[in-house]
Amino acid sequence: MFRAPVPYNLNDMSHDTAMDMIRRVLAAGVNVNKVFIDTVGIAENYKRKLDSAFYGQGIDFVVEKKADAKYKTVSAASIAAKVARDEITANWVFSEVGYEPANGKEWNSGYPSDPKCKEWIKSNLKDPVFGFPDVVRFSWAPAKLALEEGAATVKWEADDDEDEDENQPSMANFLVPTENKKKRTRLGGFKVHKGLEMAELF
């Protein structure tokens, strides 16, 4: 059965990564009592998510927009993250055997709003079916547009889904008793064997 792949939401990815980092620090024995986070998405929702994930561990989460401009620790973390990211992208090793990208690694910042990155994406749509190398995030708008314009059309169909749905029993069959169903008693076969009947009036 084939279905279109569901993209991993960038907000969820950021949240999951942050929580994983906190868990690793806690597992290393570090006493964590306050965490400052530059929000991705709605700050209040993100904070509730963190409070729930680390309930009872005594951690005060400060989740705000532009936290990197307000708190020195977040500013330092932002710089460290950018340097690490630039290092990874500059030294990227393509997993596709023998792949030689057009324009080398001239994707500049690597963000979809970057004109150089957009041009790199267009130049590296080399396969009409598989599209790009796995360094490209396929759910980005420039990548989607390039695939729509230059790649093979793919229609995702779930085999026999409609037939399966028609034959699938309704939950009502399990939860709602119907009039034509006989009520079973605890006496079961013993009642029939001994010729007993249910007494309703005394």
Class of CATH domain 8-91: alpha beta
- Pick the more confident residue, 20 or 176: 20
Q: Inform me whether the pLDDT recorded for 179 exceeds 80.
A: no
CATH superfamily of the 96-167 domain: Ribonuclease hii. Domain 2 (1.10.10.460)
Could you tell me how far CA 38 lies from the centroid of its own chain? 20
User: What is the spatial distance between Cα 147 and Cα 131, in angstroms, rounded to a whole number?
Assistant: 7
Instruction: Record the pTM.
Output: 0.63
The pLDDT tens digits of the residues spanning 111-154 come to 888 899 989 998 898 888 888 998 998 888 888 888 988 888 87
User: What is the spatial distance between Cα 94 and Cα 124, in angstroms, rounded to a whole number?
Assistant: 13
Region 65-69: what's the mean pLDDT? 95
Q: Where exactly are the structural domains of the chain?
A: 8-91, 96-167
